[in-house]
Structure 1
Amino acid sequence: MGDASGLQLTLTVWHPGCWSIEVTAETAGGLLAHAVYRTSDGNVRSLFTAYGDTAAEVDALVAAIRDSERTRSVLELEERYGSREATPEAGGAARELFVEEEPGHSVNDAFVSRGFLHDQPIRIVDGVEFWPVFYRGSRAELEAALEEIRETRDAEIEVTRISSSGPPRGSTLRRVDRLSEAQRDAYELARSEGYYSWPRAITVRELAAKQGVAKTTFLEHLRKAEAKLLDP
């Protein structure tokens, strides 16, 4: 196998005893996990971006992180993405944190030790982790490695995207054809207005207003569209 060969994956992951899964299930907003470090005393310290549509959502999320029985300390860093307050330009708010926890709750080592490499930051929202990773091995080896993690960590893991060398040209366009008209309209509007940029350029509430529908209706169409587009 050549040096560049391998598998590009997107995984959805749930595992018990994880504070980031618990707090995002209980509050609005989400987390981006950028890096994981081992401290000298054996604890795990991770760099996160906490984000939300408003500063109040982020405040509530950070408070839940501090209150969790599974976190040891929370250190807030100087912000790189602008003000904590929601702005029309950013469409939301973000705060960067170092969160320290005892070893044993994170599954990062379980993945890294089996040859998985982070491709982008892990996104945690609505009580689920989304892992974009690279795996240098065959599909049979991949499934064996994932099954080991499922069994040893009591984890629920689903492969939502897989390719040998990145998505084939035109594959996303073909998946767009599977969307209903309402789902396509919601997705195209979100994409064109910068909803998927970081920081987000617009909120779901603002997108719904542009389309002239209720926020819950727009969000339902958008989430169904995203699910179909992620399906390999």
Structure 2
Amino acid sequence: MRYLQLRIRYPPEARHPMQQFLVEQESIRRAYLRHWNFSNPDSVTTLFHVVGDVATGREDYLAALDDVPTVREYDTTPVDDRSFYVYVREAADAHARRLRELLADTDLLVVPPIEYGTDGETVFEVAGEPAELRALVAGLPDELSVSVDRLGEYDAHRESRATALTDRQRAVLDVARELGYYEVPRRTGVREIADELGCSKSTAADHLRKAEARLVALYADRTPTGAARRD
């Protein structure tokens, strides 16, 4: 089974209001659509993991939800000072129909999460047979800006690298990556990461070490027994 990662940029007029909210503000960094239910033709139920500066961005996010006319109800659950969950029940509008129609008449599967960023892009992975994956890409509307970021054999273990981390570890890695900690040369240090997170330098360093150790362990688990080593 093959998979591909699609990066789609919708024009502003085609974005869901909450996608446009992400573009227009600075506190919320991204929203991950973790689970969804499209079985009801009149509504769609979704669960989002919203990541950012909760202290300054959460109320703005919820106020924006209140302003979306298709949203019927929502509920929130805090995670930490960097993220929270939002359960949303929304009337099926054009945006929901586009998600339904994307995989109509195919056996393809969208692999959660679907990521919405502050640049107006939507990133998600689709798994299935190569011919259907090619047809999916070829059939996307011309007005969309589309790129294929990854393509290969599907490997669920690859996904476990991120899901094996705690929410706090993922938040620290997100901030470290965004500030340029993993660029060469590095553009920031642990002190700046800690300041962004609002924690001590030792706490940020501890989260980074534990997250990196977990990812290295998962990578080691994938190495075939008896594989050749280079010293």
Place the TM-score, normalised by the shorter chain, in its bin: 0.5 to 0.7
Q: Cα offset for 1:195? A: 10
- Which of these residues, 127, 141, 152, is aligned with residue 134 of structure 1? 127
- Which of these residues, 112, 135, 143, is aligned with residue 144 of structure 1? 135
For residue 156 of structure 1, what is the amino acid of its counterpart? S
How far apart are the structure 1 equivalents of 2:180 and 2:137?
39
Q: Alpha carbons of 1:158 and 1:48: their partners in 2 closer, same or farther (altered >3 Å)?
A: same
- Which of these residues, 3, 10, 14, is aligned with residue 9 of structure 2? 14
Alignment partner of 1:201 is 2:172: yes
How far apart are the structure 2 equivalents of 1:124 and 1:163?
23
How far apart are the structure 1 equivalents of 2:9 and 2:180?
31
How far apart are the structure 1 equivalents of 2:154 and 2:95?
32
Query: CA RMSD of the aligned region, Å?
Result: 3.6
How far apart are the structure 2 equivalents of 1:155 and 1:109?
17
Q: Which runs of 5+ in 1 are unaligned?
A: 1-5, 87-91, 170-190, 216-232
Other-structure match for 2:109: 117
- Identical pairs, percent: 15
**What SS does the aligned partner of 1:55 have?**
helix
Q: Which runs of 5+ in 2 are unaligned?
A: 182-187, 197-231
CA deviation profile, 1:75-116 (whole Å, cap 9, x unmatched) = 11444x3x4xx2xxxxx1323221413332133212332333
Other-structure match for 2:65: 65
Q: Cα offset for 1:53? A: 3.0
- Which of these residues, 185, 190, 195, is aligned with residue 210 of structure 1? 190
- Which of these residues, 95, 102, 105, is aligned with residue 92 of structure 2? 102
How far apart are the structure 1 equivalents of 2:6 and 2:109?
12
Verify the 8 A CA contact 1:110 1:149 in the aligned structure 2: no
Other-structure match for 1:220: none
Verify the 8 A CA contact 2:34 2:114 in the aligned structure 1: yes
CA deviation profile, 1:193-217 (whole Å, cap 9, x unmatched) = x8997651364579635277998xx
Q: TM-score, normalised by structure 1?
A: 0.59
Q: Alpha carbons of 1:212 and 1:61: their partners in 2 closer, same or farther (altered >3 Å)?
A: closer
Q: Cα offset for 1:148? A: 1.6
Other-structure match for 1:89: none
Give the length in aligned residue pairs.
172
How far apart are the structure 1 equivalents of 2:58 and 2:170?
14
